[in-house]
Amino acid sequence: MFSDTPEGFRSGFVSFVGRPNTGKSTLTNALVGQKIAITADQPETTRHPIRGIVHREDAQVIVVDTPGLHRPRTLLGERLNEVVKDTYADVDVIGVTVPADEKIGPGDRWIVEAVRRVAPKTTLLGVVTKVDKVSRDRVAEQLMAVHELLGGECEVVPVSAVSGEQVDVLLDVIVSLLPEGPKFYPDDYVTDDDVNTRMAELIREAALSGLKHELPHSVAVEIDEVLPDQDREGVLNVHAVLYVERPGQKSIIAGKDGRRLSGIVHRARLEIIKLLNQNIYLDLRIKVLKNWQSDPKALGRLGF
């Protein structure tokens, strides 16, 4: 806690909930103003709560990007759901995200009911995402539908995290719903995630690119060690392991003649250089960790 906060200063925690691919992580990054959460086309990309800090003169907003609430199929899924429920019970505002280009369905209703059970007293806020993809009339229809879904006095804000449209309006509304309070983080903090976790996530994001169906859930990344290069000044050697559950998956990740793995290394290396602001050499190995999503020991080793 920091004491140099002006009178009337607001602070608190907000989390977004919604079906897979409703734009929760992209929205988190847009609000924070830089990439702290990885994004991918696959559902359930986010695996642990990531806190992004938004600093304003009148407020400090901590955006907690969480794994999505879903019906679990594995022990990993069950553990992620528990993490999500714990997070929702502790935040001040929960933004229910519904994309403008998809009709509200049973999945949305299931999520709203689950949130109300876990955090009955938490303020809900409707967020219609991806408004850049549809007409104004469609946005208006969806705003009304989300208002009906949430009921009561819930506010609903249309937004596009990609184009930046209404992101500042959404932030204003979030701040208005937060209690008065102190700063939780210093002014130069953007996230409380450690660097190794962020590097591992960037590698996983690069690996998920272009993958389909079940395989993305089977991918996990661990940073083995980070050492200064003995021969090249200013270069860091990052050694990482990418885990999959079966030998066949290892072949898919590697690709023909290792070309896919080379692409993963290239994309991840560029992102890590941006993160660290220095040159790195990325050594990435693929290992099979059999059925790790359902193995308590393996899950513990990977931090779940």
CB atoms within 10 A of CB 23: 22
Name the helix (H) or strand (E) containing 235. strand 235-244
- State yes or no: 20 annotated in a binding site: yes
- State yes or no: 301 annotated in a binding site: no
How much is the pLDDT for 183?
92
CA distance 144 to 98: 12
- State yes or no: 65 annotated in a binding site: yes
- State yes or no: 130 annotated in a binding site: yes
Architecture of domain 10-177: 3-Layer(aba) Sandwich (3.40)
CA distance 78 to 88: 16
How much is the pLDDT for 51?
84
The whole model's pTM is what?
Answer: 0.72
Closest CA to 215 of 260, 182, 176, 262: 260
- State yes or no: 196 annotated in a binding site: no
How much is the pLDDT for 77?
75
Which amino acid, 103? K
Classified by CATH at the fold level, domain 195-302 comes out as: GMP Synthetase; Chain A, domain 3 (3.30.300)
CA distance 225 to 227: 6
Q: What is the largest CA-CA distance in the chain?
A: 64
- State yes or no: 66 annotated in a binding site: yes
pLDDT tens, N- to C-terminus, the chain (304 residues): 555 667 889 999 999 988 877 888 889 889 988 877 766 655 555 666 678 899 999 999 999 887 666 666 778 777 777 777 777 778 999 999 999 999 999 989 988 998 898 888 899 999 999 999 999 999 999 999 999 999 878 999 999 988 989 999 999 999 999 999 999 988 888 887 788 888 998 998 899 887 766 566 788 899 999 999 888 888 999 999 999 999 998 998 998 898 999 999 999 999 999 989 999 999 999 999 998 888 888 888 887 7
- State yes or no: 18 annotated in a binding site: yes
How much is the pLDDT for 288?
93
- State yes or no: 25 annotated in a binding site: yes
CA distance 242 to 163: 33
Closest CA to 247 of 286, 295, 206, 194: 286
- State yes or no: 68 annotated in a binding site: yes
First-to-final CA distance of the chain:
28
**Pair of tokens at residue 5:** 């906060």
- State yes or no: 69 annotated in a binding site: yes
- State yes or no: 26 annotated in a binding site: no
- State yes or no: 72 annotated in a binding site: no
- State yes or no: 258 annotated in a binding site: no
Domain locations in the chain as residue ranges = 10-177, 195-302
Alpha carbon of residue 295 to chain centroid: 24
Closest CA to 127 of 83, 96, 148, 100: 96
CA distance 9 to 266: 44
- State yes or no: 67 annotated in a binding site: yes
